[in-house]
Amino acid sequence: MSTAGETKEFQTEIKQLLDIVIHSLYTEREIFLRELISNSADATEKLRYTQLSGSEVKDKETPLEIQINTDDTNHTLTIIDAGIGMTKEELVENLGTIAHSGSKEFIKHLTAKGDQKDLNLIGQFGVGFYSAFMAADKVTIFTRSYHVEGESFIWESDGVGSYTITPGEDQVRGTKMVLQLKEDAYEFAKEETIKRVIKQYSSFVPYPILVNGEKVNTVDALWTKNKSEISEEDYTEFYKFIANAFDEPLLRLHFSSDAPININTLLFVPKENMEQFGFGRTEPGVSLYCKKVLIQEKSPVVLPEWLRFLRGVIDSEELPLNISRETLQDSALVSKLNKVVTSRFLKFLDGQATSDPEKYKEFWEKFNFFLKEGAANDYTHQKELLKLLRFESSNTASGELVSLADYVGRMKEDQTSVYYVNGPSREVIESGPYLEVFKNKGFEVIYTYAAIDDYIFGLVREYEGKKLISADEADLNLGDEQQERSEEALSEEDAAALTNWLKEVLGTKVTEVRESKRLVDSPAVVFSPYGTNSMQRMMQLVNKDFNNVGPSVLEINASHPMIKRLDAARKNEDAFAKIAAEQIFENAQIAAGLIVDPRGMVNRLNEILERALG
């Protein structure tokens, strides 16, 4: 037992660490408070545990709370906890040495290199307590261990080379830290500053934090509680707090797991998608915690970008508390969290789709674009995302949705592929020529209304071994499902002569003209020589080249009365045949959703009307 004060040198590595902490570490100095509060919370938690496990604890009646007092006149900040406290040996060991050899090596390496970016890495090794010296030029610690009575110690240092330990007056169990603030850190002796920093980083610390006697953390860390202890109102209140929301969330997922990684997660889907309302890009809204202490608010790395609409918390005990922003970005642990939580959320959505289809539909209508963005960009989760996509189809009523699994489950026996067709609306698709052959065969066709749908299908190409084929593909191979030549059709020779003539008349606007084997009611149809019409249309929009629709492949229906009359006019060398041919071609382009230059068409239509009206 000591009777007089002793001065001790810090271990070499601590000196180096202190030098880094004081001179170059952390752009956000205020986090020192988070570190100290979290140490106090840890010490309190350890005490609570000791108490629970039946060990003898002194000063049982002292409440388990953390007190913070500011003194703006003397420029001090005091943090008091009733945790386990420290014995003299513990003071020396915990606050004078670094035991971990890896950390030692790392500090040596850093000091040698002195590179700022590398310096941020140090956060991984727990600067913790020493960060106090970012704000203080003297730290005094009064402490008494939970298992001794009448023996307390005072540890004091200016954070340069040494510290002193002196026997202290009798005090209650726990630790009191007094920070004599540096001149440029006087703001931390102001109550408002401290309250703000606590709100930001330590709202969910599980013990009351009192600033000058007033409790400031009022929100429970719901995500660490048992689901059975949490009411609907608790969840809603919590959501409103973390998301700054006024209404209830649309969906909620609360889960904990220990393998493959320790995770406690509470995620919410908001009621509305603000991007849909033109509010600009939504910022990520899920914060990263380690044991209820904030690591990164609204983290851009803990979930993929396409999940930016989610609000909530991910807490993992495995994260180092001091991990820095730069390190988070490339942390293998964070990528693992990201992957596990994303998969779990997608599984949850899949479950919702089965257990509460109406709710899922509401979610889908508001947030589908985010899932599509994921399906288009995120290879890791593409498979899981494809399962969640929903579409209208030729078999559904307007507004009713099918999944790819529904589609595949009811495919016709002789059908080998999944067919889809793009168009701006159900009405446009259904009045167009592309569905005819499928209707005839009784094949279901998925309707895609957004360009990104076709992009995704073009990218993944297959679902459960079934090819995804656009119904407006030029070389649609339906095998023996194709139509026989009808008796009413033009003769093969006439049809051949007509297609040759059309090719001549239309010139560079077509790459090919041929007789169609798929049309029933429409006179003609166009295909893109480069893929699909929707791709061609997208290119037109992207290039903003509305006057240049690009060439098409034209197919004509040799049984259609209009085509037969066109052939007759051609044979009679009627000058009107050419005008009619051009109009039939452009009508087909319009039906394909392509943007046709209206100037030539207006004159032509006037001529046609004049003639029709006699």
Ligand X SMILES: Nc1ncnc2c1ncn2[C@@H]1O[C@H](COP(=O)(O)OP(=O)(O)OP(=O)(O)O)[C@@H](O)[C@H]1O
Contact positions toward ligand X, by CB under 6 A? 35, 39-40, 43, 81, 83-86, 94-95, 126, 128-129, 175, 321-322
**106 carries a ligand binding annotation:** no
- Nearer to ligand X among residue 154 and residue 535 (C-beta): 154
**127 carries a ligand binding annotation:** yes
Instruction: Kindly tell me the burial class for residue 472, based on how many C-beta atoms sit within 10 Å of its own C-beta (0-12, 13-18, 19 or more).
Output: buried
Separation between Cα atoms, residue 614 and residue 606, nearest integer Å: 12
**174 carries a ligand binding annotation:** no
Shortest distance (Å) from residue 208 CB to ligand X: 16
- Nearer to ligand X among residue 18 and residue 267 (C-beta): 18
- Nearer to ligand X among residue 86 and residue 506 (C-beta): 86
**102 carries a ligand binding annotation:** yes
**399 carries a ligand binding annotation:** no
- Nearer to ligand X among residue 139 and residue 498 (C-beta): 139
**85 carries a ligand binding annotation:** no
- Nearer to ligand X among residue 92 and residue 314 (C-beta): 92
Shortest distance (Å) from residue 178 CB to ligand X: 12
Shortest distance (Å) from residue 80 CB to ligand X: 9
What are the backbone dihedrals phi and psi of residue 280, each rounded to the nearest 5 degrees, phi first? Answer: 85, -175
Beta strands (DSSP E) in 402-542 are 417-422, 445-448, 462-463, 466-470, 510-515, 524-527
Shortest distance (Å) from residue 234 CB to ligand X: 29
What are the backbone dihedrals phi and psi of residue 241, each rounded to the nearest 5 degrees, phi first? Answer: -65, -50
Shortest distance (Å) from residue 25 CB to ligand X: 13
- Nearer to ligand X among residue 107 and residue 340 (C-beta): 107
**175 carries a ligand binding annotation:** yes
DSSP 403: -
- Nearer to ligand X among residue 98 and residue 402 (C-beta): 98
Shortest distance (Å) from residue 108 CB to ligand X: 18
DSSP 227: G
Buried b (16+ CB within 10 A) or exposed e, 424-434: eebeebbebbb
Tracing tokens 């995302």 back to the chain, one arrives at: 385
- Nearer to ligand X among residue 94 and residue 327 (C-beta): 94
Shortest distance (Å) from residue 98 CB to ligand X: 9
**545 carries a ligand binding annotation:** no
Separation between Cα atoms, residue 122 and residue 124, nearest integer Å: 5
Closest by CA to 295, choosing from 317, 311, 267, 310, is: 317
Identify any residues that bridge with 190 across adjacent strands, giving them in sequence order: none
What are the backbone dihedrals phi and psi of residue 244, each rounded to the nearest 5 degrees, phi first? Answer: 55, 40
**3 carries a ligand binding annotation:** no
**81 carries a ligand binding annotation:** yes
Shortest distance (Å) from residue 166 CB to ligand X: 18
**324 carries a ligand binding annotation:** no
Identify any residues that bridge with 167 across adjacent strands, giving them in sequence order: 153
- Nearer to ligand X among residue 149 and residue 545 (C-beta): 149
Q: Which long-range CB contacts under 8 A does 330-333 form with residues at least 24 apart? A: 333/261
Closest by CA to 273, choosing from 211, 348, 365, is: 365
Shortest distance (Å) from residue 260 CB to ligand X: 23
Contact 288, 299 (CB under 8 A): yes
Separation between Cα atoms, residue 185 and residue 443, nearest integer Å: 73
Write the Ramachandran bin of 5: left for phi over 0, alpha for psi from -120 to 50, otherwise beta. beta
Shortest distance (Å) from residue 130 CB to ligand X: 6
- Nearer to ligand X among residue 167 and residue 300 (C-beta): 167
**557 carries a ligand binding annotation:** no
Instruction: Kindly tell me the burial class for residue 408, based on how many C-beta atoms sit within 10 Å of its own C-beta (0-12, 13-18, 19 or more).
Output: middle
Contact 44, 82 (CB under 8 A): yes
Closest by CA to 507, choosing from 462, 559, 554, is: 554
Query: Which residue has the CB atom at the shortest distance from ligand X?
Result: 128
Which structure tokens are listed for 163? Answer: 């510290």
Contact 156, 139 (CB under 8 A): yes
DSSP 402: B
Separation between Cα atoms, residue 18 and residue 127, nearest integer Å: 9
**101 carries a ligand binding annotation:** yes
List residues forming the annotated binding site for ATP.
35, 39, 81, 86, 94, 101-102, 124-129, 175, 325
List residues forming the annotated binding site.
35, 39, 81, 86, 94, 101-102, 124-129, 175, 325
